[in-house]
Amino acid sequence: MKAYVVEAFGPPEAIAFQDVAVGELPKGHVRLRVRASGASLLDALIAAGRYQVKPPLPFSPGSEFAGEIEAVAADVTTLKVGQRVMAGGFTGGFSQTAVVPAIAAVPIPDAMSFETAAGFHTNYMTALHAFRQRAELKAGETLLVLGAGGGVGSAGIEVAKIMGARVIAAASSEEKRAFATKLGADHAIDIAPEVFRDRLKEITGGRGVDVVYDPVGGQLTELAFRSLAWRGRHLVVGFAAGTIPALPVNLALLKGAALVGVDLARFSFMHEPAVAAENLKQLLAWFASGQLKPQVGRVYAFSEAREALSDILNRRAVGKAVVRVD
Ligand SMILES: NC(=O)c1ccc[n+]([C@@H]2O[C@H](COP(=O)([O-])OP(=O)(O)OC[C@H]3O[C@@H](n4cnc5c(N)ncnc54)[C@H](OP(=O)(O)O)[C@@H]3O)[C@@H](O)[C@H]2O)c1
């Protein structure tokens, strides 16, 4: 089978494309025929060796994917060959087949395309966990979404709208702001520091926002925190800008505000798996009822997988990038 392979940590252009032998299926695992793989900043950072998790070399990038099960280990009774599933880990998606623990493969509804499923789990689960368990977002509250044109941010807009929030989307380009508006954002604003806080004041009538959803970090974090309303919550989700910001803590005191961490992996797999399972059930119910209509960004051909990672690293990607694996 064909796969993209990181032989040495480096930029997307250095990722090899080669024939790889299909290995034995370990106990408790299933093998998928991958049909689509999400592409994210995480994948680009892992391939570059710039993420805290460094998989042993060589490996195939792609932390989230969807496909059909083509083989199950003899001891797996919960899944069967032919079933459509989404799955993930840190690696493996940019490959025609992937081996995952059976417990990590989640059946997907017939109505969900492989492209949608490939980008579904991480982004929507992060948003729902952040809003429901961490910020306790209420209908009618105002939410500021940073990085609104990216994968995490765009899913945040869709989930927050279902929960009844008023959404202000912040993004660097007109194209990203238009995408955010299409997803239902009530306002879309530029992140340029000279206009950012004034626009927020204008939109909220000087009151500030109740919740900030922040997958970006860098200099935007403090500007957003300073724009919180009384009893505001600032959700720390990620650091796409590459810098972990520092914050003068007196700002929290002055606003009765909270800085709240969000970590989907620790929440789902270490601390609260039962609550995470309920969240996934809720998302799939919203999908089934048509309330959640997940939007993907550009769908890249398998031959364009490196370009997908490069677009993400260069802030060109709009929405969730997906690679079709054929
Ligand atoms: N905490 C969790 O559980 C969790 C779960 C999933 C992801 N994450 C993290 O969330 C972050 C965002 O992930 P994502 O998949 O949404 O990424 P993405 O699709 O690439 O979007 C990130 C956005 O960040 C902004 N950005 C600012 N500086 C950037 C830079 N130097 N390089 C790239 N983007 C930059 C861009 O928006 P503008 O151009 O508008 O500035 C971009 O659209 C990552 O750090 C990821 O690891 C955390």
For the CA of 152, the closest atom of ligand 1 is 16
Pocket test of ligand 1: the residue of 159, 237, 264 to mutate, having most ligand atoms within 8 Å of its CB, is 237
Same domain, 192 and 236: yes
| Strand-pair category, 299-300 with 321-324 | parallel
Domain boundary among 248, 265, 282: 265
Show the ligand 1 pocket: residues with CB < 6 angstroms: 40-42, 122, 126, 147, 149-153, 171-172, 176, 191, 215-216, 237-242, 262-264, 312, 315, 317
Q: What is the reported pLDDT for 52? A: 87
Give residue 228 CA to ligand 1 midpoint distance, Å. 21
- Tell whether 274 is covered by a domain: no
Q: What is the reported pLDDT for 124? A: 98
Q: Going by CA atoms, what residue is nearest to atom 31 of ligand 1?
A: 241
Give residue 241 CA to ligand 1 midpoint distance, Å. 7
Q: Going by CA atoms, what residue is nearest to atom 21 of ligand 1?
A: 150
Q: Going by CA atoms, what residue is nearest to atom 37 of ligand 1?
A: 147
Give the SS3 label for residue 113. Answer: coil
Split into its structural domains, the chain has a count of 2
Q: What is the reported pLDDT for 90? A: 85
User: What is the spatial distance between Cα 138 and Cα 261, in angstroms, rounded to a whole number?
Assistant: 18
- Tell whether 158 is covered by a domain: yes
**Residue found by looking up tokens 């939410």 in the block:** 143
Q: Which of 189, 236, 199 is nearest to 217 (CA)?
A: 236
Same domain, 114 and 130: no
User: What is the spatial distance between Cα 71 and Cα 69, in angstroms, rounded to a whole number?
Assistant: 6
Q: What is the reported pLDDT for 57? A: 97
Q: Which of 318, 275, 286 is nearest to 300 (CA)?
A: 318
Q: Which of 323, 123, 322, 133 is nearest to 238 (CA)?
A: 123
User: What is the spatial distance between Cα 42 and Cα 313, in angstroms, rounded to a whole number?
Assistant: 10
Same domain, 188 and 143: yes
Q: No. of H helices and E strands in the chain?
A: 11, 15
- Tell whether 127 is covered by a domain: yes
Same domain, 221 and 257: yes
Q: What is the reported pLDDT for 89? A: 84
Give per-10-residue mean pLDDT for the chain (326 aa): 97 97 93 98 96 94 97 97 94 96 95 97 97 98 98 98 98 98 98 97 98 98 98 97 96 98 95 97 98 96 98 97 96
- Tell whether 169 is covered by a domain: yes
Domain that holds residue 104: 2-119+296-324
Contacts 24+ apart (CB under 8 A), 173-181: 173/149, 175/149, 175/318, 176/148, 176/149, 176/150, 176/318, 177/148, 177/149, 179/149, 179/154, 179/297, 179/318, 179/319, 180/145, 180/148, 180/149, 180/153, 180/154
Same domain, 70 and 198: no
**How many Cβ atoms from other residues are within 10 Å of residue 272's Cβ?**
15
CATH number at residue 261: 3.40.50.720
- Tell whether 105 is covered by a domain: yes
Same domain, 311 and 196: no
Give residue 21 CA to ligand 1 midpoint distance, Å. 33
**Residue found by looking up tokens 């922040």 in the block:** 214
Same domain, 150 and 105: no
Kindly report, residue by residue over 234-292, the tens digit of the pLDDT: 999 999 999 999 999 999 999 999 999 999 999 999 999 999 999 999 999 999 999 99
Give residue 75 CA to ligand 1 midpoint distance, Å. 39
Instruction: Indicate the burial class of 298 (C-beta count within 10 angstroms; 0-12, 13-18, 19 or more).
Output: middle
Could you tell me the strand order of the sheet in which 166-171 lies?
187-190, 166-171, 142-145, 209-214, 228-236, 258-261
- Cis preceding-peptide flag for 58 (omega within 30 of 0): yes
Q: What is the reported pLDDT for 91? A: 93
User: What is the spatial distance between Cα 72 and Cα 51, in angstroms, rounded to a whole number?
Assistant: 31
For 164-215, where are the E strands, in sequence order?
Answer: 166-171, 187-190, 209-214
- Whether residue 39 contacts residue 302, with contact meaning beta carbons closer than 8 Å, is answered with no
Kindly report, residue by residue over 82-116, the tens digit of the pLDDT: 999 999 888 999 999 999 999 999 999 999 999 99
Distance of alpha carbon 39 from the chain centroid: 9
Same domain, 184 and 101: no
User: Looking at residue 301, what DSSP letter applies?
Assistant: P
For the CA of 263, the closest atom of ligand 1 is 3
User: Looking at residue 13, what DSSP letter applies?
Assistant: G
- Tell whether 281 is covered by a domain: no
- Tell whether 278 is covered by a domain: no
- Tell whether 276 is covered by a domain: no
